[in-house]
């Protein structure tokens, strides 16, 4: 590498930091249903997912090439632009993790890159056809396709399971769930780790370190795979809780159907080079599986908040990316200001998360809004427990009434 400058090194480190947040933000995509149904212990589940994320990073570079060569014009991009894009993506990932919403890390990265590119080189530097065909259309189609597939698969599994032994059938589906969770983890590494590879490669091209139209170097593939695997092992427990328990209550058959459907959609899109959101795919599959079981429900209040987050991801990350790019335009001190802002903001979000710790010990405890609504409704029709003074006041009239009524007890002679 002939010209590996300081700003380029900063961009690479920041990109790997984003990849790390992508790992713990999206762990829920692979393991939420497996953990919520009890098919695997939480820590073992995230460890398995981390290993398979690392393996998946080596399977393809099609999505990486979509980002590094297709989404924006390489000629109009400086390393500072990519740094600004990553700032927008990281902050959105951390904010949605804080509130436990499974939003798309992929779209956060796309949004940050689009906003920073427009602020730097204008709207013409963004390839609109690639954005529409390989980002926006898959964003809408993926959850629908995965959801419908999971709904049909759930109904099929329950139909076939009627003739099978109940306990034996559940054990079989738990085993299938573990296998399908591994497939989703592999797909996640194949799809999402490549996005960081693409961004780093784009930065290397912009900084003159590699030739235009280059594939990601091996060290980029390896470092991106390790970063996402480490983040996955940390475990995004807040989002795992929402995905596993907040959207719907899943049985092993549903978990198996949801994960298998999502993995199929993700792997197919990776092969075609679509920068698909694994979060959208898995969330759609979980809701489809919830509706596929007779008597199953989806908690639409949680789903609505999730849909709002999905809609805000691209524009919010784009806005932060554009503002960050504007500040970096003032020179080295502007870049330093943005870097300090990123570090301080990340520290504040982490500090806020310590107020209510969610980890592997309480990830399956549900305290979502629907439960609160039910609790409130029950409380409205149930008298509150009496305090000491109220109990005494209630006892006195009862005693007086007993004294006035003739006793029905016969005293033995």
Instruction: Tell me if 237 sits within 8 A of 365, measured CB to CB.
Output: no
Q: Could you read off the pLDDT of 241-254 as tens digits, one per residue?
A: 887 777 787 788 88
- Determine the 3-state secondary structure of 61 from DSSP: coil
Identify the DSSP state of 374. H
Tell me the angle at which helices 6-36 and 105-121 cross, rounded to the nearest 10 degrees: 150
Binning pLDDT at 50, 70 and 90, where does residue 379 land? Answer: very low
Structure confidence at residue 406 (pLDDT): 46
**Residue-wise over 377-394: b if at least 16 C-beta within 10 A, else e?**
eeeeeeeeeeeeeeeeee
What does the pLDDT average to over 258-265? 84
pLDDT tens for residues 113-151?
Answer: 899 999 988 888 888 888 888 778 888 888 899 999 999
Residue-averaged pLDDT of the chain: 79
Tell me how long the chain is.
413
Match 């961009």 to its residue by tokens.
Answer: 11
Question: What distance in Å separates the CA atoms of residue 250 and residue 297, rounded to the nearest whole number?
Answer: 10
Give the pLDDT band of residue 275 (cuts 50, 70, 90): low
- Distance between start and end Cα atoms, the chain: 110
Whole-angstrom distance, CA of residue 144 vs CA of residue 261: 11
Q: How far is CA 304 from CA 26, 84, 101, 287, in A?
A: 19, 30, 11, 12
- Which residues, in sequence order, are bridge partners of residue 126? 72
Write the pLDDT tens digit of every residue in 180-232.
888 888 877 877 788 888 888 888 887 878 887 777 888 988 998 899 889 88
Question: Which whole number is the average pLDDT over 153-170?
Answer: 72
> How is residue 60 written in tokens?
């393809």
Residue 14: count other Cβ atoms within 10 Å of its Cβ: 24
Asked whether 360 and 32 are in contact (CB, 8 A), the reply is no
């Amino acid at each position: 590498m002939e010209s590996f400058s300081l700003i380029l090194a900063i961009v690479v480190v920041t990109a790997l930091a984003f990849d790390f947040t992508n790992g713990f933000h999206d762990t829920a995509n692979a393991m939420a249903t497996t953990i919520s149904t009890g098919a695997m212990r939480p820590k073992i589940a995230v460890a398995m997912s981390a290993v398979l994320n690392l393996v998946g990073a080596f399977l393809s570079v099609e999505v990486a090439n979509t980002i590094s060569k297709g989404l924006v014009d390489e000629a109009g991009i400086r390393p500072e632009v990519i740094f600004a894009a990553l700032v927008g993506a990281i902050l959105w990932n951390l904010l949605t993790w804080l509130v436990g919403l499974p939003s798309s890390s992929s779209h956060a990265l796309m949004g940050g890159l689009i906003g920073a590119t427009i602020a730097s080189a204008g709207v013409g530097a963004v390839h609109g056809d690639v954005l529409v065909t390989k980002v926006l259309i898959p964003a809408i189609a993926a959850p629908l396709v995965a959801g419908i597939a999971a709904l049909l698969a759930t109904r099929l599994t329950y139909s076939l399971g009627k003739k099978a032994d109940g306990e034996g059938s559940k054990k079989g589906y738990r085993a299938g769930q573990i296998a399908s969770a591994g497939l989703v983890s592999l797909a996640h590494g194949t799809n999402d780790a490549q996005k960081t590879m693409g961004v780093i490669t784009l930065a290397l091209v912009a900084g003159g370190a590699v030739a235009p139209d280059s594939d990601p170097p091996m060290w980029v593939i390896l470092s991106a795979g390790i970063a996402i695997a480490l983040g996955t092992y940390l475990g995004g427990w807040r989002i795992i809780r929402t995905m596993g328990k907040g959207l719907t209550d899943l049985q092993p058959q549903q978990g198996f159907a949801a994960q298998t459907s999502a993995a199929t959609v993700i792997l197919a899109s990776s092969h075609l080079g679509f920068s698909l959101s694994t979060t959208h795919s898995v969330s759609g599959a979980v809701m489809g599986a919830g509706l596929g079981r007779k008597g199953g429900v989806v908690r639409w209040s949680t789903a609505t908040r999730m849909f709002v987050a999905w809609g805000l991801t691209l524009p919010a990350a784009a806005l932060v990316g554009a503002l960050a790019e504007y500040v970096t335009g003032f020179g080295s001190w502007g870049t330093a200001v943005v870097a300090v802002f990123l570090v301080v903001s990340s520290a504040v979000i982490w500090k806020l998360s310590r107020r209510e710790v969610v980890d592997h010990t309480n990830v399956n405890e549900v305290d979502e809004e629907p439960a609160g609504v039910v609790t409130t409704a029950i409380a409205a029709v149930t008298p509150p427990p009496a305090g000491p003074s109220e109990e005494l006041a209630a006892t006195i009239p009862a005693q007086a009434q007993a004294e006035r009524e003739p006793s029905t007890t016969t005293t033995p002679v």
